[in-house]
Amino acid sequence: MHNSVLLALWAGISFVLYKIACSIILSRKRAATARQLGCLPAPPLELVPFDPLGLHNIAILIQADKNSLIPQWMEERHKRACAKAGREITTFYQNVMGGENYFTIEPKNIQAILATQFKDFGLGVVRNRNFSPLLGHGIFSTDGEQWAGARALLRPQFARDQVSDLELEEQHVQHLLQAIPKNANGWTDVTDIEPLFFRLTIDSATEFLFGESVDSQLSALPGYKSSRIPLAVSEQEFGVAFDRAQAQISTATRFGDASWLVFSSDRSHIQRCHSFIDHYVQLALSKDKSRPQSSSSDKKQKYIFLDALVESTRDPVELRTHLISILLAGRDTTASLLSYIFMCFAQHPHVFQHLRSVVLSTFGTYSSPQNLTFEALKSCNYLQWVINETLRLYPVVPIDGRRALRDTTIPTGGGPDGTAPIFVKKDTNVEYSVYVMHRRKDLWGPDADKYRPERWDGRKAGWEYLPFNGGPRICIGQQFALVEAAYTIVRLTQKFERIESAGNLWDPVEKGGEGIIKHKLSLTMCPDGVKLRMKEAAE
């Protein structure tokens, strides 16, 4: 018995010594490789003198999240790092729960992890584990061949012919206008337009995906009675559950390897989301394939994303995975963009008036619209400048990141002057913030923090402008989002001749506000309220 205990103790000690020896050998090997490649360490971000576990970083992140100020916190953190180093820093090292993490706002580094060194970086096991309960194993929650297969399946569904069909969008814009009460003097009641935009985009997204809209805008009107058979999960319940499920997984994702600190075992919101999507999946799978297709002489057949997808796979779980991923992107991206644009219109009325004059001369009046086509919307310069400038200052995904899948490097940011490459060990996180990068004065000029659409006159942006990501994972639905946003902007700009803020936190102090833009951040970012009064145009 005594010998057995000694043997077990010796085996345990030997195993620990073996692991220590392996770690030392690996560290020396990595150090030698880094020297051969000319790599130098990135400057550390040290907010307090002694914080070996990075707990101070976690505490500040929690507080910023609570106050809806994470984008500003990221920008302030970068400024503090620059002040401490006495120079401009675009990449720094930070300790989070004892793990190594890098943060960068350098276009060359972001290009490397998203494109030129794409195979060296992925979403990583932790992020995919956090995303998969809601999103399954789709384009937003897989790496490697599994991701490539999902991407290849979805990409053809976003061909130009599909996303340039604007016939159905008008109906959803009309439903939006029904939800905005108007007074006899032509002014609307004070209306928070943000939730209306989210209803607009979920209606158009579900029509595109399922072949029928959930009509969330109509169902929110007083006295509305639906003629449909009630679903197990209503459209209102789905919207609430979708928001809460996103908030749950996005909070866990922001904490990365420390996500266990905010882990929630409650899956009820996710289950309601899945139940809602599964209803439409079963409808598509049960359609009679023996029915004859309409001939070429018939009216153009309505494109339905789900029906097209069923031609490639009949796995109900896989179909749900793809649908919920596209619904997330289709609803939240466009609604957030529209919310920020109309916030900017209220803050900068001269921009709204200039755009309105351009819209009226190009697309006609509200009651007599003309030339509202995909091509015309894309070629309307000032309209595109407004969209670009809004996405520059308020990108809907302000922070993202990748995890090193193997020992690798990023091109720059190391050493005393920040020009040397940085060695990145396997399983190290590299976070990047386009929100902060889009506000760099050395990239965008001394007025980088100002809203000025004219800066886009003649400008062709590269990797310093990434509102829809870049590289092989670039957003496949960006044209769908941009065209829907442009169409909605044009119709509302035709309808209303003035826009005023009505008691928002982001109003200037002299007008009763706090002068602070609070951002609700889940998997995407949107302003915390856009309360407006709008005056209907007299034609």
CA distance 239 to 3: 65
Q: What is the pLDDT of residues 333-376, one digit of tens each?
A: 999 999 999 999 999 999 999 999 999 999 999 999 999 999 99
Residue 291's pLDDT is 47
DSSP state of 404: E
Q: What is the pLDDT of residues 410-456, one digit of tens each?
A: 999 999 999 999 999 999 999 999 999 999 999 999 999 999 999 99
Per DSSP, the residues of 147-200 read HHHHHHHHGGGG-HHHHT--HHHHHHHHHHHHTS-B-TTSBBPPEEHHHHHHHH
CA distance 195 to 179: 11
pLDDT: is 393 or 169 the higher one? Answer: 393
Q: What is the pLDDT of residues 37-90, one digit of tens each?
A: 999 999 988 766 667 667 777 788 888 988 999 999 999 989 888 888 888 999
pLDDT: is 449 or 233 the higher one? Answer: 449
180-184, 198-202, 338-342, 490-494: least confident range: 180-184
Give the Å distances, CA to CA, from 92 to 41, 262, 370, 388, 412: 9, 25, 51, 28, 11
Which of 197, 441, 522 shows the shortest CA–CA distance to 341? 197
CA distance 122 to 401: 9
To the nearest whole percent, how much of the chain has pLDDT over 70? 89
- Is pLDDT above 50 for 297? no
Give the tokens for residue 117.
Answer: 């060194």
DSSP state of 364: B
Residue 128's pLDDT is 86
Residue 25's pLDDT is 81
CA distance 189 to 534: 8
User: What's the mean per-residue pLDDT of the chain?
Assistant: 87
CA distance 402 to 447: 30
Residue 1 — pLDDT band, cuts 50, 70, 90? low
**Mean pLDDT value of segment 513-535:** 93
- Number of helices and strands (H, E) in the chain? 20, 12
Domains of the chain and CATH, by start: 33-289+297-536 (1.10.630.10)
Range picked from 49-58, 164-173, 298-307, 419-428 for highest mean pLDDT:
419-428
Cβ neighbours of residue 171 closer than 8 Å, sequence gap 6 or more:
none
- Angle (CA) 259 526 238, round 5°: 75
- Is pLDDT above 70 for 162? no
For residues 96 and 256, the answer to whether their CB atoms sit within 8 Å is: yes
273 labelled ligand-binding: no
